[in-house]
Amino acid sequence: MSDSTASASPPTADAPIKQDFVRQIVRDDIASGKHTAIRTRFPPEPNGYLHIGHAKAICLDFGIADEFGGVCNLRMDDTNPSREDIEYVTAIQEDVRWLGYEWNELRHSSDYFEVFYLGAEKLIEQGDAFVCDLTAEQVREYRGSLTEPGRESPWRNRSVEENLDLFRRMRAGEFAEGAHTLRAKIDMASGNINLRDPAIYRIRHLAHQNTGDAWCIYPMYDYAHALGDAVEGITHSLCTLEFEDHRPLYDWCVDRVDLAGHPELLRPLTEQGMPLEAAKPRQIEFSRLNINYTVMSKRKLMALVQSGLVDGWDDPRMPTLLGLRRRGYTPASLRLFVERLGVSKVNSVIDFSVLEGCLREDLDVSAARRMAVIDPLKVTLTNLQDGHGESLEFPNHPKDESFGSRQVPFSNRLWIERDDFAEVPPKGFKRLVPGGEVRLRGAGIMRCDEVIKDADGTVIELRCSMDPESRPGMEGANRKIKGTIHWVSAEHAVATEVRLYDRLFSVADPDDNSDGQSYEDHLNPESRRTVTGYIEPAAADAKPEQSWQFERLGYFVADRQDHSPQRPVFNRSVTLRDIWAAKA
């Protein structure tokens, strides 16, 4: 069952010590001798693609194991065959590895179905579970409310023998879906509704993506999650805050089945040679990750995909890890983001700009520079001959000489950004105007001598002249020129598809339907624009998923699906500055 046996290594001696309440609990448990080996797990349900909220859980689960010399399992909580698919199992593994983590063992809740079943029979024999004939609607009616206790099921006091017989017949497939459930017998008057005789097994005549047709009864999540942790000897079971009210049920399942004290229940696994360290785990809850200008609900993300409002799960506007990866977010930037957020017990909403800032911070260091023009305006240098060509040397990174340098072709025909020219300049404009001068990045000073327009009055070309004595390093380059713009040689530039991505939603809280509108009504119409731009030849050689800073424009990544040097496709990952701050 093991996918990888490599264990996590402890942090280096000079690594900063992280401080939060979860890590303090772990430190205290180690110091008291309660645990000598730390075991965590990341337990996603394979019913969709992971999103950035899962990144926080991944970094915490694997990070805790790393920092304290422990191990972390990846466990697929695959207890609902109606929603799960092997496609998601594969994608989850790829996402975890992409983030930079390796699991101790790959497990599935379905690996333990026989153990869960034996545990359920033990509960029946102890008088802690019973087979109930109430329909789902009747169960809701009997449950009561936050202010009123529930009512006991008429079948709550069936004998142990009758319950065992019915439960075994449920497993044998004798009954239709919904005819029976197995419920824990706890307390219908409990103030915690989760303890009001919750269902722990239901009948589902569905094939399972991992076990095929072997089962027609499936455990409920709360039961399977608790016993799965106990089977694996998990010491610290980290969950988000919505599971805090479920913790008493988690502890009840662990204590009443008591796998650690009843190794005979583990025989179906030990006979397969599966390494086990059954123990009593502790559930600890932390705040989930919420970001504005997005939705985190798997149901809503699925709806966006199925309705065609986005281009699939890996659409670069999606908050899925697959989409963020295609957008150009790096594992390092997401790990930095999670580290910046910290771990607390208080739910809060993080501004999207924090996420973007972490990407800028990472790419500022790691991305080489290139020149590109995405809204091109033609420039002809009239004092250079047609066919003029030369090569200029540019550093690949202005802050890191180890990146080396490259040669950039220069000719008498250039492309510049259209908004770097203004016939009637606004106040404070420091770039090119008729009769004015601007510094061409790395090439010298250029003067605009003539503006060419088409029949509609649109500027289609600028005729300019270069000052031959203004090359970098020459005395003429010292003249005070207010603006510097970038360019590419039109004779050598490579036409490129550029996808300009932005936030998927135009409002900070798309889930707020107080105005009668749904999250779909708040989709940002400017979240994607596709243009044809031009890039210097050295930029076209990027490998898929390689990031550049296109100077003065932002950070862009070669699309992992569609890019090739022969047909370049670049996605804008993030602008150089926060363009949403002024909109707030």
Query: Cβ of 54: how many Cβ atoms within 10 Å?
Result: 22
Query: Is 453 marked active-site?
Result: no
Quick check: helix, strand or coil at residue 218?
A: strand
Query: Is 102 marked active-site?
Result: no
C-alpha to C-alpha distance for 534 and 489, rounded to whole angstroms: 9
CA dihedral 49, 298, 1, 115 (to 10 degrees): -170
Annotated ligand binding at 268? The verdict is no
Quick check: helix, strand or coil at residue 149?
A: coil
Annotated ligand binding at 289? The verdict is yes
C-alpha to C-alpha distance for 201 and 221, rounded to whole angstroms: 9
Cα Rg of the chain, angstroms: 31
Query: Is 18 marked active-site?
Result: no
Phi, psi of 123 (to 5 degrees): -60, -40
- CB 103, CB 6: distance < 8 Å: no
Annotated ligand binding at 191? The verdict is no
Annotated ligand binding at 443? The verdict is no
Annotated ligand binding at 296? The verdict is yes
Annotated ligand binding at 6? The verdict is no
Question: Among the options 298, 378, 418, 552, which is catalytic?
Answer: 298
Question: Among the options 83, 288, 300, 463, which is catalytic?
Answer: 288
Annotated ligand binding at 56? The verdict is yes
- CB 423, CB 466: distance < 8 Å: no
- The amino acid at residue 397 is H
SS3 sequence of 75-114: EECCCCCCCCCHHHHHHHHHHHHHCCCCCCCEEEHHHHHH
Annotated ligand binding at 399? The verdict is no
Annotated ligand binding at 221? The verdict is yes
In the numeric block, the tokens 């200029």 are attached to 392
C-alpha to C-alpha distance for 355 and 53, rounded to whole angstroms: 12
Q: How far is CA 96 from the centre of its chain?
A: 10
Quick check: helix, strand or coil at residue 53?
A: helix
Residue of 184, 193, 238 whose CA lies nearest to 70: 238
Question: Among the options 23, 39, 41, 45, which is catalytic?
Answer: 45
Annotated ligand binding at 288? The verdict is yes
Phi, psi of 371 (to 5 degrees): -110, 140
Annotated ligand binding at 240? The verdict is yes
What are the C-alpha distances in Å from 310 to residues 41, 290, 305, 411, 559?
32, 21, 6, 41, 16
In what order do the strands lie in the sheet containing 444-453? 484-485, 437-440, 444-453, 459-466, 376-381, 413-417, 488-489
What are the C-alpha distances in Å from 531 to residues 112, 496, 501?
52, 8, 11
Annotated ligand binding at 53? The verdict is yes
Annotated ligand binding at 8? The verdict is no
Which residue numbers belong to the known binding site for L-glutamine?
Answer: 77, 221
- Catalytically active residues are 45, 288, 298
Instruction: Report the binding-site residues.
Output: 45-47, 51-57, 77, 221, 240, 288-289, 296-298
- Binding positions for ATP are 45-47, 51-57, 240, 288-289, 296-298
